[in-house]
Amino acid sequence: MSLFLVAIISSCKTETKNTPEISLIDYKIEPGFNIQVVASEPFLDAPVALEFDDAGRMWTVEMKGYMPNLEGTGDDEPNGVISILEDTNNDGIVDKKKVFIDSLVLPRAIAHVYNGLLYAEPPNLWFVEIENDKPKNKVLVDSLYADGGNVEHQPNGLLMHIDNWIYNAKSHFRYQRKAGKWLKEPTTFRGQWGITKDNFGRLFYNTNSTQLLGDYVLPNTIIENNYFKPKSVLGQALTPNQKVYPLHPTLVNRGYVKGVLNADSLLVNVTSACGPLIYRGNQFPDSYLENAFVCVPEANLIKRNIVNFNKVNLSANQAIENKEFLATTDTSFRPVNINNGPDGNLYVVDMHRGVIQDKAFMTPYLHNALAKSRLDTILKKGRILKITHNNSNKNYKPIQFNSLNVLELVELLKHDNGWVRDKAQQKLIWRNNQEANALLLQLINNETVNEISKIHALHTLNGLSSLTFNDLLKLLNSEKQFKVKCHAIVLAKQFATKENAITFYEILNKLIEVNNQEIDLYILSSLNSWATFNDSEFFNVIDTLSKRYAENNIYQEAALNSLTTFETDYLKHIEKNNTNEDSLITRNLQTAINNKSLNKQNSIYVNNNVVTDSRTSGYRIFKQLCATCHGIDGEGVESLAPPLIHSEYVSGSSKKLALVLLHGLTGPIHVNKQRFDLNITMPGLGNNSDFTNKDILDVIRYIKNAFSESNTKLTEKDIENLRKVLPSSGSVFTEEELLKLKL
């Protein structure tokens, strides 16, 4: 019997039990807010993701196989589950569980899209239709969705966005189904675990050591130049510091490293930040709208940051000084994801267990501490917490989307809860009812409707393939609503023709006179398709705006996006007009031209998922462990790890490189004369029984061969001897200590 048939049969299993009463007396939350356990064991075991369906029911992903013991043995057992949780007596507490699919190995993400369920079970991404709460017509969307990589460093998130594409954390691909076919295309690499969005459409994410990262622009609006990798616009650290304020001494993986804990053994900075969420609900006070909430499971707390949207370059700051939104002394509280709910409240996915560190990266220090504290015995638990405000609506009734007509769905695009707007947009596109077109245009042209609702309507029309160039012209000619115009400029690219270019150029000149920073940014980044038909006119637009923001690389990188394939022509244009030849834009142009001559592409356009390297078996291990932080191309990952290319650690002593791999390295460190003060420590593999001397040697050979012009003459015997060369601290090496070694 096939695994899928087993899953379908087992999906008939239904459990109806009572959820035990759980005290939250040790949980401290901001004044005015309340927390409630709405689901727990016996209905949950190690939940990692949550989704709400059209009827408002909770669907959960249970990663039961994750670290069942300190050695991680048995983590490949097919015991993962995707379940439907229900509250049958309307008391707000789950009392019924239906298993939708079981026999999964470490499942990690789900999304209700296209009237079915998209779910990730490494290495595959699957889609199934849903019929009577059972899976039907299983389709393999991507066999390389999570190809390689450690369980802590594989794609996840599956966020259906306002532009009708599905984005992921820890991935540089996005997905969409159109006319029955699944599309997959490159996008910006984003984060580690969890992904979220604001109302405008920007994406936010994080890494373990940086609580909030984000893009300054809408996705895929600034990566059209294959030979230039933007560095000032995407993946920006929004939080100036990563401080946390736990309520009790903290047990973390590298607690022995100086500065990780303070004198009271409290964690100083985040080390396992994950599951960020931009609050888009309607039940909290207005001051909480679009705040960023971040899970910090290692310190048993949730942070709240206020995001500043007033400038193009966003920022976020601790909401209340020296205090967290939610914190507890319960060492089993392990929040890993936060969701906006259909009722406008927040829902926290609490894995609720002792061990949250995978064996591949666990230090002996943590292993021993977990065993001593017996935290490894806290298993087979899990919770969903609901966070409400004192003023939250107590009489909420779920919207039954499947019973709504087209007019009612269009009206919901004006709803003040972002979850509701998202669902209405998806349902309209899925139904593909052309009666919606006129209603959507009425909404867009209604001056009393807010901008966010109009943006939803625009992308709904686009998803229905009913948007026209004239629709966009009308918006771009209106006097206000600058945010809508930004989206209209981006959407107009699909209508770039010789005939339309003349009209579009005239509109751009009018928009430039408005002198709005956001509009200027999207104009600068969206000209490439139009320049094909009239490069001189659009070069003039770039001239005007690049001079307006001459010292701002955000805008200069946007301009380079529009100059894809026109780099040399525009350089000649600059010379002809005697423009400053040593400007940001000329330097960026030269970088792109040089990269093109070397065929050095932005790594997202290189199909790394299927590349193998026959020169060394170390590639497999590198891809699984090292590439997740340093990048498959060795260029490093912003706020996570420095580059390997041009690194003295790679081109220098092979023995010192071996010591780093065996025993780990903590910062600050210097690579190619640049200082990296990353709040993270690279763990060593020396105490991990899964990696032999040959494995370590293979990785060194691959890294040397791939990212430097040097090679190594080390032997397995050398690796064995280097295992005994321990850091003076007994933990990991520092750069200073490594430099002093004569090897």
DSSP per position, 136-163: EEEEEEETTTT-SS-GGGS-EEEEE-TT
Round to whole Å and give the CA distance between 236 and 308.
Answer: 14
Residue 246 backbone dihedrals phi, psi, to 5 degrees: -70, 165
Q: How many CB atoms lie within 10 A of CB 31?
A: 5
pLDDT tens for 392-429 read 998 899 999 999 999 999 999 999 999 999 999 999 99
Task: Say whether pLDDT at 201 is over 50.
Answer: yes
More confident residue, 20 or 432: 432
- Cβ–Cβ < 8 Å for 618, 699: yes
- Token pair, residue 737, equals 């200590």
**H or E, element range at 732:** none
**Can you give the pLDDT at residue 669?**
85
What separation in angstroms does the CA of 556 have from each of 531, 547, 563, 600, 645? 17, 9, 11, 20, 25
- Cβ–Cβ < 8 Å for 267, 260: yes
Task: Say whether pLDDT at 608 is over 60.
Answer: no
More confident residue, 274 or 706: 274
Task: Say whether pLDDT at 689 is over 80.
Answer: no
Task: Say whether pLDDT at 113 is over 90.
Answer: yes
Estimate to the nearest angstrom the gap between the alpha carbon of 660 and the chain centroid: 28
Task: Say whether pLDDT at 611 is over 50.
Answer: no
Percent of the chain residues past pLDDT 70, beyond the cut: 95
pLDDT tens for 17-33 read 666 678 999 999 999 99
pLDDT tens for 703-731 read 887 788 777 888 888 888 888 888 887 77
Round to whole Å and give the CA distance between 253 and 361.
Answer: 8
Strand order in the sheet with 156-160: 156-160, 166-169, 171-178, 181-190
**Can you give the pLDDT at residue 575?**
84
Q: Give the residue among 697, 702, 550, 686 at the shortest CA–CA distance from 616.
A: 702
- Token pair, residue 468, equals 């026209």
- Cβ–Cβ < 8 Å for 191, 213: yes
Round to whole Å and give the CA distance between 3 and 427.
Answer: 31
pLDDT tens for 360-375 read 778 778 888 999 999 9
Q: What is the mean pLDDT of the chain?
A: 91
- Confidence tier at 152 by pLDDT (50, 70, 90): confident
**Can you give the pLDDT at residue 13?**
65
Angle at 18 between CA 13 and CA 21, to 5 degrees: 140
Bridge-based pairing of strands 203-207 and 315-318 is unpaired
Report all structural domains of the chain as residue ranges with CATH numbers, in order of start: 3-389 (2.120.10.30), 406-597 (1.25.10.10), 611-740 (1.10.760.10)
Q: Tell me the whole-structure pTM to 2 decimals.
A: 0.87
Q: How many CB atoms lie within 10 A of CB 368?
A: 11
- Cβ–Cβ < 8 Å for 219, 490: no
Q: Give the residue among 437, 360, 378 at the shortest CA–CA distance from 406.
A: 437
- Token pair, residue 148, equals 């390689």
**Can you give the pLDDT at residue 360?**
75
Distance from first CA to last CA of the chain, Å, rounded? 58
Round to whole Å and give the CA distance between 204 and 236.
Answer: 9
Task: Say whether pLDDT at 185 is over 90.
Answer: yes
Q: How many CB atoms lie within 10 A of CB 711?
A: 11
- Cβ–Cβ < 8 Å for 469, 491: no
Angle at 234 between CA 306 and CA 303, to 5 degrees: 25
pLDDT tens for 623-680 read 777 877 888 778 887 777 888 888 888 888 888 888 888 888 887 888 888 888 766 7
Residue 367 backbone dihedrals phi, psi, to 5 degrees: -55, -50
- Cβ–Cβ < 8 Å for 528, 561: yes
pLDDT tens for 165-179 read 999 999 999 999 999
What type of residue is 684? G
